[in-house]
Amino acid sequence: MNQVRLGISVSLLELEKLFESGLTGALGRINHFSLEFKVEERGPFEKVGKMARNAQCTISLHPVDLNLSDKLNLDHLERVVEIANTMDAKYIEEDLGIWRISNLFMGSHLVNPMMTNDSIQQTMENLLYIQAITPISILIENPPVYWNSGPVEFWDYFTEIMLKSKANMAFDIGHYVGYCRSMERDVYLPKANAKVWDLIRTIHLSGAQLWEWHGVPVWLDRHTEPISQYLLKIATYCLRNASKAYSVLLEMEGANQATRAQNIENVIAVLDRNYAA
Amino acid sequence: MNTDELGSAYQEHLAGLYPERVLALHQMAGAAEVDERHRIFDVIRRFLDMCRIMNKTWPTSTRFLTSCLGDEILECVFAGIIHQSASHELKSAIRQASIELLAAQTESVFFEVFKYEELITKSGKMMCLYEATRQVDGYEIVLICNSDMHNLFSSLDFYRKTHAPTSFFRTLQIPKRLTYVLKEI
């Protein structure tokens, strides 16, 4: 039986409340949490870390603060590492691209990475630096991309960065489907024996809206929406191949209770089918 | 420019994502090359996000502003967002870009209307004494007004809630009795 954990993304205060009220109902199968926070945030990180350990749950950090594709802010990095140590985080996961301009947090205006050889080099140097100062694993996530910003192909770009830096990947299926739409191409997934599958440590799933705008296929990441059967089918294939995956993460911020419960049930069905003895 | 801490590639990248002529860009989207259409989509996505935040934050003032000055004024705010890097949140950056842009128009009442709407949103009272300060050309301007701003704002709110055509906003009488006190800084 595979030990892939089922996770959801949460804020610190949400997670504290969840542990206080108990993981019941659909949440009963959740045993991993990806914590979204910003470096200025102050709160009960240590307490929540202990609560997670007591509940036999693990935590990863999604700081949404680090510009892995450009110059790293070392103060921000130091704070992220400090929180990771405090909470005994399993890994740090971060989208490539630009999250911050000075103090300004870009949020949904995250700037996609330039997919060029220079960018590969810069990202690799940043990742090597991070790994030199902390033993905690760093995972790079493919960010939401709405248009082509460089000549390097998606899988070549991520594989090369990971092989050069020994970092791993948080593969976001919705972001990848969106990327393919932005490139006007079918969704291509590497073959089962491709090296990249061994580098993927977590798979992210969320809802998305797909439509045509001025004659071109576009999309938006929608954490409030149900995860479609189409995305679940892709998740099934990914989980079969990513044999070293630690978790599958559902991103559902803002979704209503019914959608959340349905998403969890659907993904549990995928996991049970994939890993049935 | 506050994007200096980024590498030159990303500075250029950002300038393309927050252009000054968004409306013209949108109009030409259908005729653009396919790759360019995808880039325009990302620009429009960001622009609409800013419009959504402005309309939610100042539902009355934003309507007044665009009715009098045209939608083009929103483009200036949009292009100014990325220069507001002292802010922590995008919403604050949009707020600051809006206020700065309007404060630069020293003859206009738009700045006061924005500030007044913020004030009553915070206080929850429609009728309140309004006082605000701003700095222009080495002077601190203290603006004090009472019933005039309230009258103007009530009319604006009435027009907005009844979906009045933009021409109605332009015919409003701007208060004459605003009191300015200038102090040299």
Q: Retrieve residue A7's tokens.
A: 């996770």
Averaged over B162-166, what is the pLDDT?
Answer: 94
Averaged over B147-161, what is the pLDDT?
Answer: 86
C-alpha–C-alpha distance, residues B1 and B11, integer Å: 10
Averaged over B129-155, what is the pLDDT?
Answer: 75
Q: Which residues in chain A are closer than 8 Å to B3, comparing Cβ atoms?
A: 101
Distance from the Cα of A136 to chain B's closest Cα (Å) equals 26
- Which tens digit of pLDDT belongs to each residue from B55-89? 999 999 999 989 988 898 899 999 988 888 788 88
| CB interface of A with B, residues 50-89, below 8 Å | 67, 69-71
C-alpha–C-alpha distance, residues A131 and A77, integer Å: 11
Position with higher pLDDT, B48 vs B104: B48
Decide if B121 touches A, using CB distance below 8 A: no
| CB interface of A with B, residues 225-264, below 8 Å | none
Query: What is the structure's pLDDT at A277?
Result: 45
Sign of CA dihedral A262, A268, A269, A274: positive
Nearest chain A residue to B28, by CA: A214
Decide if A105 touches B, using CB distance below 8 A: yes
- A109, B6: Cβ pair inside 8 Å? no
Decide if A214 touches B, using CB distance below 8 A: yes
| pLDDT reading at B5 higher than 70 | yes
C-alpha closest to that of A123 among A136, A141, A109, A137: A141
| pLDDT reading at B179 higher than 70 | no
Averaged over B122-132, what is the pLDDT?
Answer: 70
pLDDT in tens, chain A (277 residues): 458 999 999 999 999 999 999 998 889 999 999 999 999 899 999 999 999 999 999 999 999 889 999 999 999 999 999 999 999 999 999 999 999 988 889 999 999 999 999 999 999 999 999 999 999 999 999 999 999 889 999 999 999 999 999 999 999 999 999 999 999 999 999 999 999 999 999 999 999 999 999 999 999 999 999 999 999 999 999 999 999 999 999 999 999 999 999 999 999 998 888 765 4
C-alpha closest to that of B52 among B15, B30, B84, B77: B77
Query: What is the structure's pLDDT at A273?
Result: 81
Instruction: Name the residue facing A98 among B10, B87, B90 (closest C-beta).
Output: B10
The interface predicted TM-score of the complex, written ipTM, equals 0.91
Nearest chain A residue to B93, by CA: A104
Decide if B17 touches A, using CB distance below 8 A: yes
Distance from the Cα of A197 to chain B's closest Cα (Å) equals 29
User: What is the value of pTM for the model shown?
Assistant: 0.90
Query: What is the structure's pLDDT at B113?
Result: 83
- B46, A184: Cβ pair inside 8 Å? no
Q: Which residues in chain A are closer than 8 Å to B5, comparing Cβ atoms?
A: 71, 101-102
Decide if B15 touches A, using CB distance below 8 A: no
> Any idea where the domains of chain A sit in the sequence?
5-275
> Any idea where the domains of chain B sit in the sequence?
8-184
Q: Retrieve residue B175's tokens.
A: 């208060």
- Which tens digit of pLDDT belongs to each residue from B82-110? 888 788 888 888 988 888 887 676 556 78
DSSP state of A168: E
Distance from the Cα of A29 to chain B's closest Cα (Å) equals 34
How, if at all, do strands A58-62 and A91-95 pair? parallel
C-alpha closest to that of B76 among B103, B56, B45: B103
Query: What is the structure's pLDDT at A274?
Result: 76
* CATH architecture, domain A5-275: Alpha-Beta Barrel (3.20)
- B42 pLDDT band, cuts 50/70/90, is very high
Whether residue A209 contacts residue A216, with contact meaning beta carbons closer than 8 Å, is answered with: no
C-alpha closest to that of B154 among B133, B134, B173: B173
| pLDDT reading at B146 higher than 90 | no
Averaged over B144-170, what is the pLDDT?
Answer: 85
Distance from the Cα of B150 to chain A's closest Cα (Å) equals 34
Assign B135 to helix, strand or coil.
strand
Position with higher pLDDT, A83 vs B122: A83
In 10 A of CB B114, how many CB atoms? 25
| pLDDT reading at B145 higher than 80 | no
